[in-house]
Chains A and B, each alone.
Chain A
């Protein structure tokens, strides 16, 4: 099993560009989530999903969209990138119904110039 796979690992964008961060898990987990990590601010929840077809906003959802059309995939879309979105992004999944025992992906380091 690959676990939680995130692509790309690194990305540089210009302000205003759009892109999608991919996240896939092969553990048949219902729960998936996206966090961003910034120095001194911990892990902040962007969006999460408790199952296919269901998504919900986290602490910092503005500027990001998600969808959950399959159990395996949970892509994160930046519609118009801003320098404030420069961060490390982690996708995570859980076999628990509510995010218990999260497995994290290896992260995507995003820079917006």
Chain B
């Protein structure tokens, strides 16, 4: 079945450094790839998403890249700030089935 693998499980960076989280997916028919941020004790919230007809998308300090051939996509956060500390989830869905599958999550810690 569909599977999404996310790495690393934990990531610690110094404030101002960049952070990169990587995901791979198994279903070649996947065509929608969102990223969610979950702060401690709160609900997940969408931060950025990308569709399969786009290779890269940026929103201020956040960017996502997609390599459909290799079936992997990545989240890039530049100039990290302490408020970026949270758990980040990638996900992939196939518009034919509507099934949105999440990765296992990455706990990002930004040290001041």
Contact = CB atoms under 8 A, between A and B. Distances in A.
A42 B1 contact: no
B32 A100 contact: yes
A41 B87 CA distance: 12
Contacts, number: 68
Given A42-B89, A90-B43, A106-B43, A98 B102 contact: no
Interface residues of A, number: 25
Interface stretch (B11-19, B58-66, B91-99): B91-99
B104 interface: yes
Chain A interface SS verdict (over half): loop
A45 B98 CA distance: 11
B102 A102 contact: no
Interface in A48-101: 48, 50, 56, 58-59, 90, 97-101
Interface residues of B, number: 26
Interface string A5-30: 00000000000000000000000000
Contact of A104 (B32, B43, B99): B43
Given A40-B9, A42-B6, A43-B89, A99 B100 contact: yes
Interface string B13-51: 000000000000000000010101000000111100100
Q: Which 4 A-B pairs have the closest CB atoms?
A: A99-B100, A104-B43, A42-B104, A43-B102
